[in-house]
Structure 1
Amino acid sequence: MTQQIEIDRPARGYWRATFHNPPINLVDLDTIAELRELVGRLETDPGVNVVVFVSRDTDFFLAHYDVLADKARTAAMTPGPTGMHPWLDVLVRLSRAPAVSIAAVRGRARGAGSEFALACDMRFASAEKAILGQFEVGIGAVPGGNPMARLAQLMGRGRALEAVLAADDFPGRLAERYGYVNRALPDGELDVFVDGLARRIAGFDKAAITEAKRLVDAASLPANAAFPPALERFFESVARPETKARTRGLLDHGLQVRSELELNLGRHVAAGG
Structure 2
Amino acid sequence: MDLAGFTTLHVDIRDGIAHVVLDNPPVNALGATMIRELHELLGALGGDPSVRVIVFSSANEEFFLAHVDLHILEEMDQLRAIAASNPEVNVFQATGELLRHQPQITIVKLAGVARAGGAEFVAAADMAFAAKGTARIGQPESLMGILPGGGGTQYLRERVGRNRTLELLLGAELLDADRAAAYGWINRAVPAADLDAFVETLAANIAALGPEIVARAKRVVPPSDIVAGLREENDAWSALVETETTAKLMSGAVERGIQTPEVERDLEGLMRAVAAG
TM-score by length of 2: 0.91
Q: Which residue number corresponds to residue 270 of structure 1?
A: 272
Q: 2:67 aligns with which of 64, 67, 88?
A: 64
Q: Which residue number corresponds to residue 25 of structure 2?
A: 22
Q: Which residue number corresponds to residue 5 of structure 1?
A: 9
Q: 1:111 aligns with which of 116, 120, 129?
A: 116
Aligned equivalents of 2:216, 2:39: Cα separation in 1: 23
Aligned equivalents of 1:235, 1:181: Cα separation in 2: 28
Q: 1:170 aligns with which of 149, 168, 175?
A: 175
Q: Which residue number corresponds to residue 212 of structure 2?
A: 207
Aligned equivalents of 1:209, 1:99: Cα separation in 2: 7
Give, as a single letter, the amino acid of the residue that structure 1 aligns with 2:50.
Answer: G
Q: 1:54 aligns with which of 54, 57, 63?
A: 57
Q: Which residue number corresponds to residue 146 of structure 2?
A: 141
Unmatched segments (≥5 aa) in structure 2: none
Aligned equivalents of 1:26, 1:170: Cα separation in 2: 19
Partner-residue secondary structure (3-state), 1:98 = coil
Q: Which residue number corresponds to residue 156 of structure 2?
A: 151
Q: Are residues 76 and 106 of structure 1, via their aligned partners in 2, closer, same or farther at CA, if it must alter by over 3 Å?
A: closer
Give, as a single letter, the amino acid of the residue that structure 1 aligns with 2:29.
Answer: L
Aligned equivalents of 1:265, 1:257: Cα separation in 2: 10
Aligned equivalents of 2:177, 2:146: Cα separation in 1: 25
Instruction: Work out whether 1:121 is the aligned partner of 2:129.
Output: no
Partner-residue secondary structure (3-state), 2:112 = strand
Map 1:24-103 to 2 at 5 A: 24-70=27-73, 73=76, 77-78=80-81, 79=83, 81-83=85-87, 84-103=89-108
Shift of 1:250: 1.7
Q: 1:251 aligns with which of 244, 254, 259?
A: 254
Give, as a single letter, the amino acid of the residue that structure 2 aligns with 1:67.
Answer: L
- The alignment's C-alpha RMSD in Å is 2.0
Unmatched segments (≥5 aa) in structure 1: none
Shift of 1:233: 2.7
Instruction: Work out whether 1:180 is the aligned partner of 2:185.
Output: yes
Q: Are residues 68 and 222 of structure 1, via their aligned partners in 2, closer, same or farther at CA, if it must alter by over 3 Å?
A: same
Describe the superposition over 1:225-250 as per-residue Cα deviations: whole angstroms up to 9, x where unpaired.
Answer: 33233234323322211011111222
Partner-residue secondary structure (3-state), 1:97 = coil
Between stretches 248-257 and 64-73, larger displacement belongs to 64-73
Partner-residue secondary structure (3-state), 1:35 = helix
Shift of 1:76: 7.2
Q: Which runs of 4+ in 1 moved over 4 A?
A: none
Aligned equivalents of 2:225, 2:172: Cα separation in 1: 22
Instruction: Work out whether 1:161 is the aligned partner of 2:166.
Output: yes
Aligned equivalents of 1:34, 1:76: Cα separation in 2: 10
Q: Are residues 3 and 196 of structure 1, via their aligned partners in 2, closer, same or farther at CA, if it must alter by over 3 Å?
A: same
How many residues are treated as equivalent by the alignment? 269
Q: Are residues 117 and 87 of structure 1, via their aligned partners in 2, closer, same or farther at CA, if it must alter by over 3 Å?
A: same
Q: Are residues 272 and 168 of structure 1, via their aligned partners in 2, closer, same or farther at CA, if it must alter by over 3 Å?
A: farther
Q: Is the 8 Å Cα contact of residues 32 and 78 (structure 2) preserved in structure 1?
A: no
Give, as a single letter, the amino acid of the residue that structure 1 aligns with 2:212.
Answer: A
Q: Is the 8 Å Cα contact of residues 134 and 164 (structure 1) preserved in structure 2?
A: yes
Partner-residue secondary structure (3-state), 1:217 = coil
Q: Are residues 168 and 74 of structure 1, via their aligned partners in 2, closer, same or farther at CA, if it must alter by over 3 Å?
A: farther
Q: Are residues 35 and 2 of structure 1, via their aligned partners in 2, closer, same or farther at CA, if it must alter by over 3 Å?
A: closer
Amino-acid identity (%): 31
Give, as a single letter, the amino acid of the residue that structure 1 aligns with 2:104.
Answer: A
Describe the superposition over 1:205-239 as per-residue Cα deviations: whole angstroms up to 9, x where unpaired.
Answer: 21111111122115xx2423332332343233222
TM-score by length of 1: 0.92
Shift of 1:42: 2.6
Shift of 1:80: 5.2
Partner-residue secondary structure (3-state), 1:70 = helix
Shift of 1:149: 1.3
